[in-house]
Amino acid sequence: MVFKWVVGIKKTLGISELFGIVACGIVLSSCSMLRGYRADGLDGPGIFSFEHHVHDTIPNGDQMFQFKVAESRADWIDTLHFYNDPPHCINQTFPEAMANKSATQGIMIIHDDNIVYEIYRGDFTADRLATVFSVSKSITSLLCGIAVDEGYIESIDDPVTKYLPELKGKDPRWEMLTIRYLLCMFSGLDFDDEYDFNIKALKAVNAIARLNYGHNLMKQIRGLKFRCDPGTKFHYESMTTAILGVVIERATGRHYAEYLSEKVWKPLQMESVALINIDSRKHRVAHAFGGITCTLKDLAKIGRLYLNNGMWDGKRIVSEEWIHRTTDFYPGSSYRYSWYDVRFEGFEIGQYPGFYAIGIYNQVLYINPHKKLIMVRIGADNIGWATIPEVFEQLSNIWP
């Protein structure tokens, strides 16, 4: 993704093309951009890129929970057609809509703790590790809630400087930036998740490359500027969750992988270890914004935790208050505490609305508490018209 623009340079060299090549040379002179190119090539990171990225392991425990496979499968789903109403209107069956998304993907639907529907394409399986990108933000939100419950974070209205004191004095707005603003994307930071190259975006492209491939995340954080006061404007970008990850590490005194393992991966009886990208072995700052790699089955267990209001087989993992704060419907907000509803994609919510986490290429964890449904999709690409969270929402609303 970061380097996708390079292939757009024309063979016929006019003034604009020459200018583009010069700009490319400037960008590729960046250590982070060059490191990203060497790691992931022109197309940027994929769901299996973790294999050559530096990462920490998130261990699972000795006990494992497995969803049961339902005796009665929901094969009727294959007969359904979606998107009959303009403007999002291509009438296709569920398998047709999903088949167009990617040659490599997996889809699992769980109802009442039973797997009722599965599709796997290419060499993907329910047990194969894959990076879920910005779904990581929602998992980081969960981990933040646990840190609040345990008293490591006194309040989400604490300024980040309480946990990152080295930011004091750099700009008075750092002391205005609270954990709540990080969770809700109101940081005011001058940062963009910019992957498409143009001359005006050169600085932003370099910054996102540095976030993904740089070796010293805290150094990058210390050099950040603000575009507006925290709390004044919603602006989605990954740096805010990167900072939130550091806040959690500082507050708990634990590395991200260690804390996530102890508080989530082991208690939820995950079937596989997970991984999280880090900036370097020297600094070990986690990519809390998009670096988690796990299996489709284990990701579904995060959904089960939320479906059960923070409980796991009789044990409290995170407070019910945190779950409701995260997932309750707010008329004026489709993004809250790093979770979404379908209004964010421009759709109207259904009679039985759900909520979801999402990452690039449409990695989706969708939860519908009204229908006791968990739907997960992991895929290598996101091609075609279908918006997966909306398809899942439509399916939930007609679920018997």
Q: How far apart are CA 316 and CA 374, in angstroms?
A: 20
Which residues face 55 on adjacent strands? 277
Which secondary-structure segment (H or E) carries 58? strand 55-58
> Confidence class of residue 8 from pLDDT cuts 50, 70 and 90?
very low
For the stretch 301-320, pLDDT in tens is 999 999 999 999 999 999 99
The HSE-up count of residue 76 (CA atoms within 13 Å, CB side) is 6
**Between 200 and 399, where is the model more confident?**
399
Q: How far apart are CA 144 and CA 141, in angstroms?
A: 5
The answer to whether 89 touches 95, Cβ cutoff 8 Å, is: no
Helix axes 135-149, 296-307, angle to 10 degrees: 50
**Mean of pLDDT over the chain:** 89
> Confidence class of residue 329 from pLDDT cuts 50, 70 and 90?
confident
The answer to whether 134 touches 359, Cβ cutoff 8 Å, is: yes
Question: Quick check: helix, strand or coil at residue 24?
Answer: helix
Per DSSP bridges, beta strands 274-277 and 55-58 are antiparallel
The stretch 232-240 carries a mean pLDDT of 97
Question: Quick check: helix, strand or coil at residue 56?
Answer: strand
For the stretch 255-293, pLDDT in tens is 999 999 999 999 999 999 999 999 999 999 999 999 999
* pLDDT above 60 for 203: yes
pTM, 2 dp:
0.90
Domain 46-135+145-152+255-400 has CATH 3.30.9.90: no
Where are the domains positioned within the chain? 1-44+193-213, 46-135+145-152+255-400, 153-190+225-252
| 164: nearest Cα among 154, 173, 172, 174 | 174
Which secondary-structure segment (H or E) carries 18? helix 15-28
Return the pLDDT at 35.
75
Q: How far apart are CA 35 and CA 5, in angstroms?
A: 16
Q: Which two tokens stand for residue 23?
A: 């700009």
Q: How far apart are CA 354 and CA 352, in angstroms?
A: 7
For the stretch 55-91, pLDDT in tens is 999 999 999 999 999 999 999 999 988 754 445 556 7
Per DSSP bridges, beta strands 114-121 and 68-69 are parallel
Q: How far apart are CA 41 and CA 29, in angstroms?
A: 15
Return the pLDDT at 69.
97
The answer to whether 106 touches 47, Cβ cutoff 8 Å, is: no
The answer to whether 187 touches 247, Cβ cutoff 8 Å, is: no
| 239: nearest Cα among 186, 283, 203 | 186
Strand spans (E) along 59-207: 68-69, 81-82, 92-93, 105-111, 114-121, 130-131
Q: How far apart are CA 344 and CA 396, in angstroms?
A: 18
